[in-house]
Amino acid sequence: MSVSTRSFSPTDRLLGEIGKAINVLGAPARAARPLPRTPGTSAGELVLDEADRRRSARLMRVNHAGEVAAQALYRGQALTARHAEAATAMSQAAAEEIDHLAWCEQRITELGGHISVLNPLWYAGSFFIGSLAGALGDRTSLGFLSETERQVESHLQDHLDRLPAADARSRAIVEQMQHDEIAHGAKAETLGAAALPRWVKAAMRLTSRLMTRGSYWL
């Protein structure tokens, strides 16, 4: 018996990406890995005062918005990648970071907060940027992935410095996210990531700051 394979048209692929966007923005994420925990702690042991709870909820909302943007960025890069290896690397990075999305959602709920109302904007903008990066060539796209992860690693360290010391649950999540981002960046380097111009890196940092500030309050 012969097995036929279907070749997807650009329209098919774009419709598929719209479906993925709807899932990211409208459906609760499901993690493949359990929620990270700091050894020796449990949910019942962590009691935050109101000010610390609000601060943690806002910081985790920023982290969640960053993961929404990461999903869009990597999906855009995968869509316009020129070779299967690069497309696979982008798709795998997006899939692996679904855990981050789910962990942040769960922790925000526990803290009595809400996800950013600006998430659709972050998704659309990041998907456009990712598609453009992919269209510029696989080495450039991998360089973009590497630099993104480098900046996210720094951003997460800043959040570790700002999260209340008593919030061990949020801190454990952020620490695991940071570990994963380092691994994703290293993988992009091994696949031949190109160094990006300084002005591109600066533009990426500016965009990240705008998203961070918007998501912290909204």
Of the ranges 36-50, 106-120, 178-192, the best mean pLDDT one? 106-120
- The model carries a pTM of 0.84
pLDDT at 2 over 50: no
Of the ranges 71-75, 111-115, 144-148, the best mean pLDDT one? 111-115
Residue predicted with more confidence, 189 or 24: 189
pLDDT of residue 5: 41
pLDDT at 4 over 70: no
pLDDT of residue 3: 42
CA distance to 101, 125, 143, per residue, from 30 (Å): 8, 24, 29
Residue type, 89: A
137 by DSSP, 3-state: which? Answer: coil
Give the mean pLDDT of the chain.
Answer: 82
pLDDT of residue 17: 63
The residue whose two tokens read 């499901």 is: 30
> The domain 48-217 is classified under which CATH number: 2.70.98.60, 3.30.470.20, 1.20.1260.10, 3.40.50.300?
1.20.1260.10
Element holding 49 (H helix, E strand): none
146 by DSSP, 3-state: which? Answer: helix
Of the ranges 20-24, 51-55, 84-88, the best mean pLDDT one? 51-55
Domain ranges for the chain, please list them. 48-217
Q: What is the mean pLDDT of residues 151-155?
A: 87
pLDDT at 28 over 90: no
Q: What is the mean pLDDT of residues 151-180?
A: 91
Q: How many CA atoms lie within 13 A of 93 on its CB side?
A: 34
The residue whose two tokens read 């000010």 is: 51
pLDDT of residue 6: 53
Model pLDDT for residues 97-107, shown as the tens digit of each residue:
889 989 999 99
